[in-house]
């Protein structure tokens, strides 16, 4: 387990620009809004004949996945290629660490290949903080998910999806439903929603799937889904992470679905224009009814589309911040 450090000190350069993207926690509303605005500028690229911009031309992006995730890896790879970067995908769980290499050894090897950006997914909370502290000062680190701690690009693509469909965050009541305890996505969503000014953030889950003292993050907690869904503008469902459950936290999947699965009937409790989201992959009939997931109020496919634009935004901003920091160091040395 790695110990996370102060995110602002690690993530921002001396000009206050993004140079790593480790967590949404501690970042300003202005910076989160800049990420969304930059992503908006990329969103229409998929409709163009040439789906590339030269912002990362000549740069090498290494996707370091110590934990498998086909969806996240593929969107980061596509985002990097649309920025014209060279991309190297490494499944570390089946390569260097199985040969006895330490994390520092792996980083030094990749730095020797003149890599410019590491996109890292790791099962240990705080691993990306550790990497950002120990890599070369010219290498940007992007968090693609660490333990139960954070998944900031997923949170920001969710924020982009909400903003494109609902406009301002200030009037919104947002419910996050399901396996809060094991969800790095939920934590990143909470920090982003609170910073962007959402009127109310609700967590809906059984007591066994709620972290202790989660109310300290400024959220309202409900164990009754019917009560929690009343008059919500946005319903964000979470995947039931059975692989992270070390004990019997639930009586059964069918019981979870009965109490906390999002059905057409339960969705009627939210506002008539409420939208439904899910970070995927979906367990149909466990977290959500298929007719809801595929229905007119579902934004799940929009989230996937927006994920590419947000990851392009974060990667381009972090690289720009790294270049600015390098120029500052060179000027200071003269």
Distance (Å, whole) CA 168 – CA 124:
34
Which residue positions form the known binding site? 71-72, 99, 121, 151, 154, 184, 239, 280-281
Task: Give which of 199, 196, 194, 73 is closest to 142, Cα–Cα.
Answer: 73
Whether 110 and 89 have beta carbons less than 8 Å apart is answered as: no
Distance (Å, whole) CA 25 – CA 191:
5
Distance (Å, whole) CA 310 – CA 240:
25
Return the half-sphere exposure (C-beta side, CA atoms, 13 A cut-off) of residue 246. 2
Distance (Å, whole) CA 196 – CA 310:
16
Which residue positions form the known binding site for carbamoyl phosphate? 71-72, 121, 151, 154, 280-281
The backbone torsions φ and ψ at residue 221, rounded to the nearest 5 degrees and listed phi first, read -110, 135
Which residue positions form the known binding site for L-aspartate? 99, 184, 239
């Amino acid at each position: 387990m790695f110990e996370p450090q102060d995110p602002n000190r690690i993530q921002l350069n001396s000009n206050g620009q993004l140079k790593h993207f480790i967590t949404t926690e501690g970042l300003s509303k202005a910076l989160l809004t800049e990420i969304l605005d930059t992503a908006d500028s990329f969103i229409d690229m998929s409709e163009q004949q040439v789906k590339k911009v030269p912002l990362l031309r000549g740069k090498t992006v290494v996707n370091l996945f110590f934990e498998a995730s086909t969806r996240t890896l593929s969107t980061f790879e596509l985002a990097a290629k649309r920025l014209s970067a060279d991309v190297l995908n490494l499944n570390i769980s089946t390569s260097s660490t199985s040969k006895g290499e330490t994390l520092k050894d792996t980083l030094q090897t990749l730095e020797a290949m003149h890599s410019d950006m590491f996109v890292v997914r790791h099962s240990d909370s705080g691993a990306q903080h550790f990497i950002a502290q120990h890599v070369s000062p010219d290498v940007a680190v992007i968090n693609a998910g660490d333990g139960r701690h954070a998944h900031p690009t997923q949170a920001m693509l969710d924020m982009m999806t909400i903003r494109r469909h609902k406009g301002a965050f200030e009037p919104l009541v947002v419910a996050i439903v399901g396996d809060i305890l094991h969800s790095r996505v939920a934590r990143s969503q909470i920090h982003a929603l609170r910073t962007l000014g959402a009127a109310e953030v609700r967590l809906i889950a059984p007591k066994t799937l709620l972290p202790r003292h989660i109310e300290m993050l400024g959220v309202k907690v409900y164990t009754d889904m019917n009560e929690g869904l009343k008059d919500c503008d946005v319903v964000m469902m979470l995947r039931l992470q059975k692989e992270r459950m070390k004990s019997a936290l639930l009586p059964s999947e069918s019981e979870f679905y009965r109490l906390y699965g999002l059905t057409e009937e339960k969705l009627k409790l939210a506002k008539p224009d409420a939208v439904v989201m899910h970070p995927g992959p979906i367990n149909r009939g466990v977290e959500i009814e298929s007719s809801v997931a595929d229905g007119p109020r579902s934004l799940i496919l929009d989230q996937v589309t927006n994920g590419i634009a947000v990851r392009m935004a974060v990667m381009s901003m972090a690289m720009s911040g790294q270049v600015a920091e390098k120029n500052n160091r060179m000027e200071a040395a003269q």
